[in-house]
Amino acid sequence: MTIVTTMKKIIAYSIFLILLLWICGYGFFLLHISSIKPEHPLKKTDAIIVLTGGTMRIGTGLELYKDGLAPQLFITGVHNLVTDKDIKAMWHNTSEPLPECCITLGHDATTTTGNSQEAYKWIKDNNIKSIRLVTSSYHMPRAMLEFSPVKNEGGIVIIPHPVDEKETFKHLSLAFKEYSKVLFRWGMLALHKKDFPL
């Protein structure tokens, strides 16, 4: 057996092992996001922060806000053409109206990293010490990674509130993309690279 043949086998085995670990990791990721639940569902915080993107995220945030779990609601990543009135129109329970204030929209973020930056600026400006973070269950692991500087160095208490938005094959596709992005962010954090200073 030549050295070239040996090297080819080593490379082939290495690729196979990496793919196997990748697939197994995806399986564990699916199990994790399917089992996570909102933490401390009745605990009040200074604010509720909703990351846009999923079909049920804003509705869940409005429901938590109506229930009095926080005196302020901040929605980050809102399209520039969407107004407070549009958001409030999503609340269909007229028998239980929303509080008159204080819902704030953030229009600057276009990525999850941008969400954390936009949210942290609002948190600092409003002297917020604790938040309930609302996003889809498949998105929560990466959201918590992106918000880790806010938690670890900003000293903000973060209560994750995942929203279950399973939609069969669409959910699996979104989960796979999120799994890949989470691995990338883990790698970036391992290299101590931050996306924004605190």
Which one is predicted more confidently, 3 or 168? 3
- Domain 36-190 is of which CATH architecture? 3-Layer(aba) Sandwich (3.40)
Which one is predicted more confidently, 99 or 133? 133
Report the chain's mean pLDDT, rounded to a whole number. 84
Give the model's pLDDT for residue 166: 63
Calculate what percentage of the chain has a pLDDT beyond 90.
40
Give the residue from 95, 96, 135 showing the smallest Cα distance to 119. 135
- 187: CB partners within 8 A, 6+ apart: none
Retrieve residue 43's tokens.
């605990």
Whether the per-residue pLDDT at 168 is higher than 50: the answer is: no
Mean pLDDT for the stretch of residues 130-134: 97
DSSP 60-78: HHHHHHHTTS-S-EEEES-
- Determine the Cα–Cα distance for residues 82 and 84; give it in Å rounded to an integer: 7
Give the model's pLDDT for residue 1: 60
| Per-residue confidence band for 4, with pLDDT thresholds at 50, 70 and 90 | low
Distances (CA, A) of 7 to 13, 20, 94, 96: 10, 20, 69, 69
pLDDT tens digits, 28-47: 778 778 888 999 999 999 99
Which one is predicted more confidently, 191 or 155? 155
Distances (CA, A) of 122 to 24, 115, 118: 39, 11, 6
| Per-residue confidence band for 116, with pLDDT thresholds at 50, 70 and 90 | very high
Give the model's pLDDT for residue 187: 73
Whether the per-residue pLDDT at 2 is higher than 90: the answer is: no
pLDDT tens digits, 172-183: 777 778 888 887
